[in-house]
Amino acid sequence: MLVYITRRSMQSIVVLLVMSLLVFVGVYAVGNPVDILINPQADQIDRERAIVALGLDKSLPQQYVSFLWGALHGAVPRLVVVGLPSAKVTSMFA
C-alpha cells in the first residue's frame, strides 16, 4: 500500500509540473503579456515599468521558477489591477 501511495504521489507531482509548464508556455503562446495587460496607447516608459513590475525582464527559466514559487505560495495568479494574490482577494468576498 505504501508503494502505491508513493507511486501515485510521484505521478501527481509530474502531472502538476507538466501542467504548470503548459500554463506558463500558454501565456506566451497568445502573444506578449505586456501587449495584453497594458493600454495600447501607453508610452515606452510605462511599458518598461510594466515589464519590470511583472518580472518579464528576467530570462524564461527565471520567470518559470518565480511562477512555480508563486504557485506554491498561493500568489498565482496575481491580480494585476489590484496587485494582490487572487486567493487574498477572493477571501475578502467569502
CA-based end-to-end distance of the chain:
38
Beta-carbon neighbour count of residue 53 at 10 Å? 13
32 residue type, one letter: N
pLDDT (tens digit per residue) in 26-83: 888 887 878 877 888 888 898 888 888 888 889 989 989 988 888 787 765 555 555 5
Instruction: Determine the Cα–Cα distance for residues 54 and 33; give it in Å rounded to an integer.
Output: 9
pLDDT computed for residue 75 by the predictor: 67
Classify the C-alpha dihedral 61-67-70-72 as positive or negative. Answer: negative
Instruction: Copy the grid coordinates of residue 53.
Output: 513590475
The pTM is what?
0.67
